[in-house]
Structure 1
Amino acid sequence: MQAQPTKSNKNNLMFADSLLNAERAVMALTAQGILVSNINLCQPGKPTIQVEYTPALARFINDKIAVYYAFGHKQYGKYKQAQYPLHGCRVVWIEYTH
């Protein structure tokens, strides 16, 4: 008889799955020439991968794969934040306009 997974075991499994998904996403982003700047695993079911903005990311917006979800103004000027799903992860970036 196999023991039922405990809550901590379930969390461990979620983190392990998240790491595998993040690895797949990073490999896909690397193949596309997109630079990863940060990976956040605070939500184990859906890692957030931050990438450096390049104009090539506009195609994800144009193809309706990514969406803008936040707008604002910081010391660098106006900005837009975008996101799209990839291999169970959330890929995000910030675009600054002057």
Structure 2
Amino acid sequence: MTGPGWPNERGWLTIGAWTLFVYIISLVAFIPELDKSQLFTALASGVAGAILRDVYGMWTASTKAGAELAGKAMDVLHRQSEIPAGTPADPVSTKEVS
């Protein structure tokens, strides 16, 4: 969904992840019986930990500026690796050996 003021894909992912995180924390806060369930505790801590690690990591390690910098570096690498027209593909000398 795009438009003035709407988040991009990263924004929607972050909103959804934090909504799920807040929901899990509110379940633990308002329904104390869930602490007795080992399955819920394992799932909730796994989901909450993954959300914190992945969303925070996404924003700190994969910033937009970092992605743009990586794209520029790849463009330079592609330009350097292009073979000019007229250059033989085989680097072996074409001179005859006497």
TM-score computed with the length of structure 2 as normaliser: 0.33
More strand by proportion, 1 or 2? 1
More helix by proportion, 1 or 2? 2
Structure with max Cα Rg: 2
- Say which structure, 1 or 2, has more relative contact order (CA 8 Å, 6+ apart): 1
TM-score computed with the length of structure 1 as normaliser: 0.33
